[in-house]
Amino acid sequence: MRGLHADTGYLLYRLGLRSGQLFNAFLQESGLRLRHYALLRFLATIEGALQRELSARLGYDPSAIVGLVDDLEKLGFAERRPSPDDRRSRIVVLTDEGRAFLRDTDETGLRVTQDLLEPLGPAERETLHALLLRIAEAGLA
């Protein structure tokens, strides 16, 4: 290996770019981008979160979260509701329409990932996932 391909960080960067391109192409018809999709996927795992919590968990700038939530609200996929813990605060929750969108796109989303990881066999994919998860979780600690 020579040049940039000898640098693991660069390879991860390129893989991230390629993954983003594939997911954005898949989402293009819906008018969403990968950041919207990631936010929807995260909202599907919780009962709601403050925007600052979404920013921290997803690693997006707080101002970006505001715009993403605005976009998802316009589509009916998410909504802001009063927080049950503090009525001055608002939480973001996934709507039934948002859940339906995720269900409708599950298979295509899996295909995008499969296309991206096509050069790897099933065991290699599992190993890659486990290693990336370990790195990602260490970064969240």
16 near 35, Cβ under 8 Å? no
Q: Which residue has the tokens 């898949």?
A: 26
Torsion, CA 73, CA 30, CA 46, CA 117, rounded to 10: -160
Q: Looking at residue 137, what is its pLDDT?
A: 84
Q: What is the CATH number of the domain that holds 87?
A: 1.10.10.10
Q: pLDDT tens digit string along 7-61?
A: 888 988 999 999 999 989 988 888 899 999 999 999 999 989 999 999 998 989 9
Helix (H, G, I), strand (E, B) or coil at 35: helix
Amino acid type, 134: R
Tokens of residue 9, six digits: 């960080």
Helix (H, G, I), strand (E, B) or coil at 83: coil
Q: Looking at residue 1, what is its pLDDT?
A: 52
Structural domain for 27, as ranges: 3-140
Domain count, the chain: 1
Q: pLDDT tens digit string along 58-73?
A: 989 999 999 999 999 9
Q: Can you tell me the distance from the alpha carbon of 104 to that of 86, in angstroms, rounded to the nearest whole number? A: 34
Residue 120, Ramachandran bin (φ over 0: left; ψ between -120 and 50: alpha; else beta):
beta
pTM comes to 0.81
Q: Is the pLDDT of residue 139 over 80?
A: no
37-59 as b/e: b if 16+ CB within 10 A = bebbebbeeeebbbbeebbeebe
Q: Looking at residue 2, what is its pLDDT?
A: 66
Q: pLDDT tens digit string along 74-125?
A: 999 999 999 888 888 889 999 999 999 999 988 888 899 999 999 999 999 9
